[in-house]
Amino acid sequence: MHYRFIRGGFIEHSTTLKTNKQIKNGVAKVMKGHKVVATGMYENNNRVGRWNFYRSKDSLDQIYNYTTKKVEYNAPDSLIFFEIDSLKAGDKVVPPMKIGGNYYGLFFLIQNFKIPKESNAYPGIHKVYLIFHLDVNGKLVKYDTEILLPVLKTTTTMDLSKLKEEDFDFSPAYLNGKSVASRYVYESTLTVN
């Protein structure tokens, strides 16, 4: 077994080749403290087959198949919604999804959010939207944050150069069987006191 710190307190435990300890090959799990957040398999340093991502103990968040490149299960989340331009009533839609689920997959993207200083002047609870702009292949191309203050709406575009390669990976939205560009939106609140 090989242990490596990923970032943000996550540790990956993975099987490696006897002949080369740098090549992950076999069973793997990702943990945060004593909590398992992901399990799956590696083959020659690449994730293969089904990976299970967990929100909490015994709470499956997502199953993603790295071999077929498809989300097989994604738990509903009332804080996540999506937007597709040109969407009409009656269209058949498959929403975009963050690979890794809404807990582990979004964790590192959410960590990049910084509270703007001007919000300190407005005590209260304010809506915050993290908006991930995705291309037709499900790659993150722009990351905006919006905070709705009483007399002000602040919008900030995040610097994508600070992200890691896996942060860019989403499953694309499909509109009537064709992949399309979309926006994946995480809604939250900001409390200023």
- Helix, strand, or coil (residue 127): strand
Q: pLDDT for 105-146, tens place per residue?
A: 999 999 888 888 888 888 899 999 999 999 999 999 999 999
Transcribe 20-83 into DSSP letters: -TTSEEEEEEEEETTEEEEEEEEETTEEEEEEEEEEETTEEEEEEETTTTEEEEE---TTEEEE
Q: What's at 112, amino acid-wise?
A: N
Q: pLDDT for 15-43, tens place per residue?
A: 988 888 889 999 999 999 999 999 999 99
Q: What's at 113, amino acid-wise?
A: F
pLDDT in the model for residue 5: 87
pTM: 0.90
Backbone angles phi, psi at 162, to 5 degrees: -85, -5
What distance in Å separates the CA atoms of residue 76 and residue 23, rounded to the nearest whole number? Answer: 35
* High-pLDDT (> 70) share of the chain, %: 100
Q: pLDDT for 84-94, tens place per residue?
A: 998 999 999 99
